[in-house]
Amino acid sequence: MTSEEAKNKIESLREEINRHNHNYYILHSPVISDKEFDFLLKDLENLEKEFPEFHDDLSPTQRVGSDLTKGFEHVIHQRPMMSLSNSYSIEEVDEWFERVSKLLDGENFNVVGELKFDGTSISITYVNGRLVRAVTRGDGTQGDDVTANVKTIRSIPLQLLPGSWPDEFEIRGEILMPWEVFEKLNAERAYNEEPLFANPRNAASGTLKLQDPRIVANRHLDARFYYLLSDNLPFDNHYDNMEAVRSWGFKVSKNMQLLHSLEEVDEFINYWEKERRTLPVATDGLVFKLNSLRQQMNIGYTAKSPRWAIAFKFNPERACTRLKYVSFETGRMGIVTPVANLEPVLLSGTIVKRASLHNDDIIQELDIHQGDYLYVEKGGEIIPKITGVDKDRREVGAAKIEFVKECPECGTPLTRIFGEAAWCCPNHYGCRPQITGKIEHFCGRRMMNIDGIGEETAELLFDAGMVENISDLYSLTAERLSTLERIGEKSASRIMSGIEASKEVPFERVIYALSIPNVGETTAKRLAKAVKSMDDMRLMNVEELQSIQDIGPVIGQGIYDFLRDPINISIIDKLQVAGLQMSLSEDQMHPAGDSLNGKTIVISGTFHHHSRDEYKNLIESYGGKNAGSISKKTSFVLAGDNMGPSKYEKCQSLGIPIINEDEFLKMLDTE
């Protein structure tokens, strides 16, 4: 490599690493794995050593990462929080063990093996048995004072149990979000239309940096502690100190183990590479520490990390399991999706049996054959994905997986969507999953909100010949419904009440419920506001439809074609006769007021006085505009309970006001 090539490569790596540092520490949203990041950093370190003329004090290699955040008091660590050297193989740990042995000049030593919990680092100071300060790792030299938030974590003692604890000490650990809490939080964020957290570590880190301890308390964070520091420690070794810490009321992993030989170290690694999957909290590796504090002090530190400890990082969690078969599933809009059906495998705390293969291009790219052993990972530790094939285990003569040429449900020849990788069944009105999918969509909460009709009931109604399209719902009776298996009198009554109430659902939700191609919730609102009524929309030509905001040629043509299909014409006519709202209401035609004119408002959280949809309607009726994400253009955020942390943080950084329900309703001069 020439000097000029090295310079360009070094600059490119620095820019890339700085970007990933920002994603990780500030946005709490990494886009690459820790292992990939470490390899990038190692590449940069090697290049900088080979070409020292390009040394830069501000290179990412010259500092540790920082999670310092505006809005918190920065506190200097009394003792720096150094990072550990990382290893990714047993061989590297063995080499570390041998180095320690040489540095100790043959002296006997023990090693403590611990789980490396995947959370956010914390250092807590106790004085006279009472918690006085909690500080994040920050850049290792200083961190953020998050004492108020840490006090809300119930597994962290505010007052120690009786014991021989030092008058003053510092204890370090990890703030964690258990898998169960993480999954509930992401379900709530999905409901609030907020981006999902990639993994429990990011969720814990984001939560700990919230400005409102009440929200932190609702997140049910946990903690594990792994190191005690003081001028007056109770024991001269790490293991006994941590056992003492446990007796004082701290959570210390019961899986901490005293290891006496290299063989025991290797056994510890081999055991936890498998068993970590059964833990209730996320782990990303193991840590090995020299047990004797005297020996730790004698071995000392490098510029960045202690010589007496090393971290062993697990490879990104993935499993290899056998492909049972590939199923092809037709969706509501006719798109056929291939799905890998797998021998069940435990991955990141859950059993994985299925993973989408997305489209034909991916099947061809991976070169999947019948009975192959597939590598499965969890994208962002949430969604299972197929990442490769173990071709060494492929059976001789195994047939290649071929994408179906006909719809697996109705047998209609598939067509390729122009410019896309998807294949589609064009039999939109005679294909069972498309029909039942449209019925289920029509009845959904954000559409017509007909309680009691989900996927199974939609299929049941179709198979019984009672509902062949969405307009048939309005011909149902409680008596007919109650004759069906699994639908009793109460269920039938609930469904009929929902059907009757759906006649009052606003026009924009009716448009959304019709399953017009490419018309989602936001587009449906734009359409309703622009066209005013279904009759007027049906009279529009393609050019008129395309002139509406955010409706381009593809969507405009799709709406035009949909409204001229004879079957759709019949369905819409029947829905009009049934009494559905086919035009904007008088209130929508004539705004209730103008107090929100020119204001862009974001809604977040759950509310008491009105639903989220009702608040969205209120905003529009008073001249305001709803937005899904916060930007400099946002006027304020209407916040309920459990406001999303990412939105809260963005409000803080941009100085955007946050108002509650009562304040908002006063702005409207209504109740």
Q: Which positions are annotated as active-site residues?
A: 116
| E-strand stretches of 63-154 | 74-76, 86-87, 111-117, 120-127, 130-136, 142-144
CA distances from 352 to 33, 292, 314, 319, 386 (A): 21, 43, 20, 10, 11
Q: Which amino acid is at 234?
A: P
Look up tokens 């971290």; give the residue. 311
User: How far is the C-alpha of 136 from the C-alpha of 144, rounded, in Å?
Assistant: 5
Which tokens is 591 given? 């705004």
Q: Strand, helix or coil at 242? A: helix
Contacts of 262 by beta carbon, 8 Å cutoff, 6+ apart: 94, 97, 98
User: How far is the C-alpha of 208 from the C-alpha of 319, rounded, in Å?
Assistant: 32
Contact 647, 194 (CB under 8 A): yes
DSSP letter string, 345-398:
EEETTEEEEEEE--SHHHHHHHT-BTT-EEEEEEETTTEEEEEEE-GGGPPTTP
- For CA atoms 428, 434, 437, 443, the dihedral sign is positive
User: How far is the C-alpha of 582 from the C-alpha of 503, rounded, in Å?
Assistant: 10
Q: Provide the CA 479 distance to its chain's centre, in angstroms.
A: 44
| CA neighbor of 20 nearest in space, from 32, 8, 38 | 32
User: How far is the C-alpha of 408 from the C-alpha of 404, rounded, in Å?
Assistant: 7
